[in-house]
Structure 1
Amino acid sequence: MICGKIHAVDAIDRQILAELQRDGRQSLTDLAARVRLTVSPCHRRLRDLERAGIISGYRAVIDPPAAGFGFQTLVFVTMREATRDAIAAFETGAAAIPHVIDAQRLFGEPDYLLRVVAADLDHFQRIYDEQLSALPGVQRLNTTLVMRTIVDDRPLPL
């Protein structure tokens, strides 16, 4: 979005987005060929998608176990109170913990869902004891161990 206006995404923009989700490292020349445009209009559309915030960035997708984070948990957080200050303090604190790789505010109970990675159970226990349990405004933490990830970081169905 730019200035509160929705950017119109047409079929060609959707093709560009789908191609970039499939392979974000492809050259502009390859991208243009795949969406059947010349390089200049493809580049212009790509810049427009970036400026509009539809493309919010580029990154490498890293396999957590291969990087030493073979232990994942889902932590459900129930807050003591839902005041503006309590929510802001909790969200700032959760965002500052590097091992929290995904955090979502939920409607109803619980209030938040955090996805946390660690090397192993002992490492997670330290994160839990020293960081998660110290987050401001927390009434209760419930943790579920992830047995296996089935779908992760799936591209949007464009």
Structure 2
Amino acid sequence: MDDVDSRLIAELRRDGRASISDLAAKLKLARATVRGRIERLIASGEIAGFTVLTRADVTAAPVRGLTLIGIEGRGTERIMAQLQGMPAVQAVHSTNGRWDLIVEVAAETLQELDDTLVRIRRIEGITSSETNLLLSTRRPLKRP
């Protein structure tokens, strides 16, 4: 994958429905070049597919964050099970380092997020937590 492929993928991430003509104009390439590169990237597996974001995907839970959790003792599995039962919890990741778990949370409002964080902090065995709000998400280009 070269710089042109990276720029092409970046444009497709911005607008997966962009026409070959629009992509060619933005990248200052011939339409046949853009079409050929897209076909090659699909055939090589570099582009694994295309998707659609619905309004629900981007607005159902606009308040998102990552909660870093420290656990006392050996209660990780029990705590993970409790976390997974909470509606606002999108994913639970075990990790190494200072924190034991990273929890992806999503809510409709800051108040709903705060209520979820209070519930999390009350789980027996959790000794510390830190939450960072996600302000925006950008997908990085895949580099060789």
Q: CA deviation at 1:26?
A: 0.8
Match of 2:138 in 1: 154
Q: Distance in 2 between matches of 1:50 and 1:81?
A: 45
One-letter amino acid matched to 1:107: N
Match of 1:49 in 2: 41
Q: Distance in 1 between matches of 2:35 and 2:86?
A: 37
The answer to whether the 8 Å contact 1:22/1:155 transfers is no
The answer to whether the 8 Å contact 1:73/1:143 transfers is no
Q: Deviations over 1:20-59 (max 9, x none)?
A: 23322211232234330333x4234224334545434434
Matched, 1:142 2:129: yes
Match of 1:16 in 2: 8
Q: Distance in 2 between matches of 1:58 and 1:21?
A: 10
**Pairing partner for 1:77 from 55, 69, 74:** 69
One-letter amino acid matched to 2:137: D
Q: Distance in 2 between matches of 1:25 and 1:100?
A: 31
**Pairing partner for 1:26 from 18, 34, 56:** 18
Match of 2:103 in 1: 114
Q: Distance in 2 between matches of 1:47 and 1:82?
A: 49
Q: Normalising by the residue count of structure 1, what TM-score does the alignment of the two structures yield? A: 0.54
Length, aligned pairs only: 134
Q: CA deviation at 1:12?
A: 1.9
Structure 2: which 5+ residue stretches go unaligned? Answer: none
The change in CA–CA distance for 1:23 and 1:38 in structure 2 (over 3 A counts) is: same
One-letter amino acid matched to 2:104: R
One-letter amino acid matched to 2:100: D
Question: Identity across aligned pairs (percent)?
Answer: 22
Q: Distance in 2 between matches of 1:117 and 1:58?
A: 21
Q: CA deviation at 1:16?
A: 0.7
SS of the residue aligned with 1:46? helix
The answer to whether the 8 Å contact 1:76/1:142 transfers is yes
Q: Distance in 1 between matches of 2:17 and 2:104?
A: 27
Q: Normalising by the residue count of structure 2, what TM-score does the alignment of the two structures yield? A: 0.57
The change in CA–CA distance for 1:103 and 1:33 in structure 2 (over 3 A counts) is: farther
Give 1:52-71 correspondences, 5 Å limit. Answer: 52-56=44-48, 57-60=50-53, 67-71=59-63
